Amino acid sequence: MAAVSPEAERYVERFAAFVEASPSSFHAVRAVADALDAAGFSGHDESDVWPAICGGARGYALRDGALIAWRAGADVAASSPVRVLGCHTDSPGFVLKPQSDFTTEGWAQAGVEIYGGPLLNSWLDRDLAFAGRVVTREGSARLVRTGAVARIPQLAIHLDREVNNGLTLARQRHTQPVIGVAGASALGLLAEAAGVDADEIAGLDVRLADTQSPGRVGADREFLASPRLDNLSSVFAGLDALLAAEPAPGAISILAAFDHEELGSESRSGASGPFLEDVLARLRAGLGASVEDAARALAESWCMSADAGHAVHPNYPERHDPHVRPQPGSGPMLKINANQRYASDAHGASLWERCCADAGAPAQRFVSSNDVPCGSTIGPLTATRIGIRTVDVGVPLLSMHSARELVHVEDLHGLARIAASFFAGA
């Protein structure tokens, strides 16, 4: 097995730092915005007047846990097509409930609600932080992040000798973390982290996050074990590509990172909401586009919807299609589903092949077994909402929706290279 390439080594180091900076979707968009600021992009508040865009324009807008950034190529015009790299900033896990502090048998605990579809067992016995945002009574929002303060404890085997015959977790009773002994308070910890008094905090959007840093494993250190690979693997690939790739002349590159995908995307910052449509309309208006111009532009535009997928699992090979077997290290995947759980079609496959060839990156394909229901992504939602041609892609993982997922580092880097070719107009 070949060792990891120096380019992938450098990429994965930057990616791991991004994951550590992004314990919540709010932190993830802040980390993306910081990188964009450093590269000369200007942030636009949605309530401000946006300037008209011209060749070379670079900007972005934030909406809660979502971000849309754009980079215009030379000679952009009213009918310039867009190339959108779509992805999501959220990951399944746990969210702090209101009035979260309670005490049981002398233990201080925090009430949490399950967010999306995590593998519950993977969150047991981990060193967990709180991370997200708080909003004060005056309406000012602050990012917050504590150290490792919480743990969802397993039951000792001595108290349940049957546990290895099948673990069943009650979603309310067995998932509540301990945060100390009587008197400890999650709200108090968050107020301290935010630098405000607890009674100034009016609202919380706060998650549990695993505090263990991403780490390399494998005989050749070829894997990265990390939280939130679904879907920070795609967010970072899109950011890296947007910064690296000069857009094709007369085209606009767009990074669209949505929140709430793990819940079905139905929110103002989710892919079923109007955020992308709103930004596209404002960019079009800034180019002086007519209805005719906008329609012509859309017909030539593309969305590459990037989201993590499944590598073939060595211990459960029967769960996968018997012939299409995504391997770790063989490249990102084109994801195909006849029932439009993925938006890829034959034209999408053609675009994907061009991008992979241009990047010189290996790639493979994913399709589900007919016996196992297929997941979905933002791809079909964006295609339905905007009418834009869309192709679904992503890196192959093991243990998707675990608190700690696994990916081959060459696949991570491959996605960034292919995304760069997509932006460059391949």
Question: CA–CA separation, 361 vs 340, rounded Å?
Answer: 26
Query: Among 366, 369, 386, which residue's Cα sits nearest to residue 378?
Result: 386
Question: CA–CA separation, 51 vs 64, rounded Å?
Answer: 22
Residue 68 CB, nearest approach to Zn ion (Å): 18
Residue 25 or 231 having the CB closest to Zn ion? 231
Q: Which of 230, 240, 405, 410 binds Zn ion (CB under 5 A)?
A: 230
Residue 259 or 307 having the CB closest to Zn ion? 307
Interface of this chain with Zn ion, residues 121 to 150, rule: CB under 5 A: none
Interface of this chain with Zn ion, residues 281 to 310, rule: CB under 5 A: 307
Residue 231 or 368 having the CB closest to Zn ion? 231
Query: Among 353, 309, 368, which residue's Cα sits nearest to residue 333?
Result: 309
Question: CA–CA separation, 272 vs 62, rounded Å?
Answer: 16
Residue 230 or 405 having the CB closest to Zn ion? 230
Residue 63 or 228 having the CB closest to Zn ion? 228
Residue 225 CB, nearest approach to Zn ion (Å): 18
Which residues are within 8 A (CB) of 293 and not within 5 positions of it... i.e. 6 or more apart? 78, 79, 284, 287
Residue 307 or 411 having the CB closest to Zn ion? 307
Residue 356 CB, nearest approach to Zn ion (Å): 21
Residue 240 or 307 having the CB closest to Zn ion? 307
Question: CA–CA separation, 421 vs 302, rounded Å?
Answer: 13
Binding mask 51-90 for Zn ion (x = CB under 5 A): ----------------------------------------
- In this structure, is the dihedral angle defined by the CA atoms of residues 121, 109, 210 and 159, taken in order, positive or negative? negative
Q: Is there binding between residue 405 and Zn ion (CB under 5 A)?
A: no
Q: Which stretch binds Zn ion (CB under 5 A): 165-173, 227-235, 282-290, 358-366?
A: 227-235
Buried b (16+ CB within 10 A) or exposed e, 331-370: bbbbbbbeeebbbbbeebeebbeebbebbebebbbbbbee
Q: Which of 231, 337, 399, 402 binds Zn ion (CB under 5 A)?
A: 231
Map residue 390 onto helix, strand or coil: strand
Q: Which stretch binds Zn ion (CB under 5 A): 175-183, 223-231, 241-249, 287-295?
A: 223-231
Which residues on neighbouring strands pair with residue 339, listed in sequence order?
Answer: none
Q: Which stretch binds Zn ion (CB under 5 A): 56-64, 187-195, 200-208, 224-232?
A: 224-232
Total residues contacting Zn ion by CB under 5 A comes to 3
∠ at Cα 195 (190, 196), nearest 5°?
80
The upper half-sphere exposure of residue 388, i.e. CA atoms within 13 Å in the direction of its Cβ, equals: 26
Q: Which stretch binds Zn ion (CB under 5 A): 157-165, 214-222, 231-239, 335-343?
A: 231-239
Binding mask 306-335 for Zn ion (x = CB under 5 A): -x----------------------------
Residue 227 CB, nearest approach to Zn ion (Å): 13
Length of the chain counted residue by residue: 426
Which tokens go with 254? 């767009």
Residue 230 or 259 having the CB closest to Zn ion? 230
Residue 289 or 391 having the CB closest to Zn ion? 391
Map residue 141 onto helix, strand or coil: strand
Judged by the rule CB under 5 A, the positions of this chain that interact with Zn ion are 230-231, 307
